[in-house]
Structure 1
Amino acid sequence: MKGGSINLSKKLRKIILSMIYPFILLVIVILFIFGYYIVKYKQITHNVSVSSAFNIDFKSSIDLKMYYYTIGNKQQTTLPISDVEDAITLAESLKETTYRKESIKALQNILEYCSNLKKKMRMIAETKDYDNRKVQLENNIYVLTMLIQGKMSDYIYYEAGYMASLEKEKTEYIKLVMALTCIILLGTIMYLLYYGLRFSRSITVPIGELCENVKNVGDGVFAIPEVNSNYCEIDQLNTGIQQMATRIDALLENVKEEEKMQHMMHLQLLQAQINPHFLYNTLDTIIWLVETEKYGDAVTMLTNLSMFFRGILSKGNDIINLEEEINHIHCYLDIQQVRYQDIMEYSINVPEQLKKIKVPKLILQPLVENALYHGVKEKRGKSTITITCSDQGEDILITVVDNGIGMIAEKLNFVKNSLKNSERVGFGLTAVHERLKLYFGGSYGVDIHSEYGVGTTVKVQIPKEFEQK
């Protein structure tokens, strides 16, 4: 599957959501606008209703009560201060839900007049002369209540005007929303036409190519072209058809050329020794080095990786010089040391006179990989992998030693029994053991010694001279 491929169902959801989102946003905007105006209307309607009820009887009520109080009528023996306080409370509550400047100013005037009215009431209460009380009633009380009533009328007038302006503003917003709806609807239709055709073509064209590839495979043509697509489902189909064509071709070639079967088995055996995570991690490390602008380190690592795979290929030869095998291990460990420099060191000691001895390729890399992943990585702190080649007369002894975590006795016995019974264990360990026995006989192979907490030693003994079968 390609890195940039996407899922068809996700693509469909994306298209559907890209059509729904504008309408959801439009609905939210509409609800917000109407909610805003509903709240405003409710506030203004309440303000006008309350202020109108106040304006109907405030002046007449206060004037009458103050008249009775002034003339000394028994119906009103106290000042109607509480009525004025109620008016002040009403004006202050209206200010909390009033937004127009003129209306707020009118309410402020009412509060000032009410405050003055209370003062004038107390002045009448403090005046004993009847005539002066009458004059104060007419010149102060009646005038102030008239002013309060007038300002409340002004407030009602301003609020009614504000209501009319809100109505006009709401109408303009509705027109705008309708225009926006038409634009979004038209854009959605155009989007569906464009992306719908494009989406259908992006599916039908590669499917048609896949069908053509299947037809070619049925006709015996196995060299089929890759089908490019942005969708993982089609990529999976393409990969499956490619693999099917490759396998059918390989099977037919095996039937036609029986003599190549052993070579293919050897090649698959060599490839099986390579841990795919090594390649993934190496490439990830190279990408990280490039991203951090460590170009020199990235080039060095790429060079080692190239030499590593060149050593794997070895021009198709299965038997190489010991020097080439050691160079291959150098490349492998140099690559790994970039990633595990904090926990791994290594040393290689090969006498010059042994470098031209012929050995099967890739017999050391699985052993070193085992030492790294099962020994060094499992131990806290830094460990060392040591590779030594020594002359043993007719044979050479290659030793891979690590002072990593080692193995407990039960695990060591399990590994030894697995090698003895040709059971798969470790990273290619059994494959190396079996190849050595295949090339040199049953007395050769891999010998392992390990102690938990101390480390592991793997010995490989190879004759200096042998005839390749």
Structure 2
Amino acid sequence: MRKHVIKKEDKRIGIKAFFEKSHRVYLVITVVPVIILVALIFYIAMKYNQLSVEIENAVEQHDRIKEDLMSELWDLISNKITLEESTHEFIISDVSRNLEKLDENTHIIAAQRALDTLKIYVAQLEQQIMEGDAVSYNEHTYDEIVNVSDLVCNMLEEYIITSETSTISLLNSRMKYIALVVTMWMCSVLAYFIVFVTKDFRSTQNSIDKSILALNEMTSQIARGNLKVRLRDSGIVEFESLTDSLNSMADQLDKLIDYRIQVRGEIQKAEMRALQAQITPHFIYNTLETAVWLAEEERNEEVVKVIMAFTTFLRISLIEGDYIPVRKEIEHIENYLEIQNIRYYDILTYEIQVDPGLNQYRILKQLLQPLVENSLYHGIKEKRSTGKGLIRISGADNHNGTMTFTVEDNGGGMQPERLEALRQKLEKSHRDKEDSIGLLNVNKRIQLYYNSDGLKVESILGSGTRVYFTIPCEENEYETYIYH
């Protein structure tokens, strides 16, 4: 994005030199405003420097809690290190000391309280480890620690945002004060300049007015959130330092905000990958149980069929990277449904109708499988008494650079109230703890990776449910997928 630059005249004017040339009597009138300006500039620079230090401190403590402490505690419960080798107590103590250095406000107070709670959970984890408790208890305590650490980090992020906004507002008010001081000073010597140096005075006055208005415009735009605005050389010697400071401040704030957005985006992507890994464990257990059951009944051909489909299913699931070709995603679904069809042969049939032209595109891995699983467990299985249920998967090229995938069933459907509640959950920016992973996780991943609206759900009680989404058509730039 191109930075908006406020143009200034190239002619440079020294206010002090001009008034010294006009008359020595006005030396004091010239020096005093300059001193005030310099003092205010120094004050603003100090405030900005203090903000930078505090924000850097807050960012550092955020990273230490989110990365260093969590990694240290995980290594501890994983028996990679012992309590004596762990430095988690030092990390927590150091973070606590650094939080005390920050300006105390509601966010820092909340962060400190959350940190105190974190200490309690960590102490509990230490006690469990020393007493040799089961790993599951340790992991449960670790999950509680993760939740509390997220609260600490959220409070630090809110502190950073609040500090940035309040400081921009403060700088804007200081700049207005500077404009007022300079304007009052110019009015006090107006009569002298009219009599003796009318021409030079008017030229100088115009330059000063333009500089002040430019500075005021810049601070106003920054206050409105435009951090791309910059000033060229003001043309007034005394304003050079202020111009440089404001430009530097805008640069630093822009970088800090971009960094915060980038970190938050990476954290969300990491959370989505972690949720993605939780989609299939129960299916794995059920598949193996099915294979054992078939083997006990000596249905060997079906055992082979289940194991081969399961092997291909896992091979595709374990492909590295976030994206796979559409054809592999469809193959993934075919293997999943083949296994489930053997397991639920008395209640399940399925159809797959995908435009062959979509095979040249790529898709985010494991988008369709959770939707199919949802149709099976919440649609078809609830309609056991009315014969076999049908799951239909379709994919269509919209011929506008997008493609739409649909998973529908003729299961039990949903009541209008339940459907509306589900739609409201899909519109949320965050998933509640009590919500299931399937639909909500797929919806969040589509929104995060494709910047799209996510899932659309239609359902009629007693007739079935239809879930669909539209994503961009993206070519497979690198065919680096290896299948054996």
TM-score normalised over the length of structure 1: 0.45
Say which structure, 1 or 2, has more relative contact order (CA 8 Å, 6+ apart): 2
Between Structure 1 and Structure 2, whose CA radius of gyration is higher?
Answer: 1
TM-score normalised over the length of structure 2: 0.44
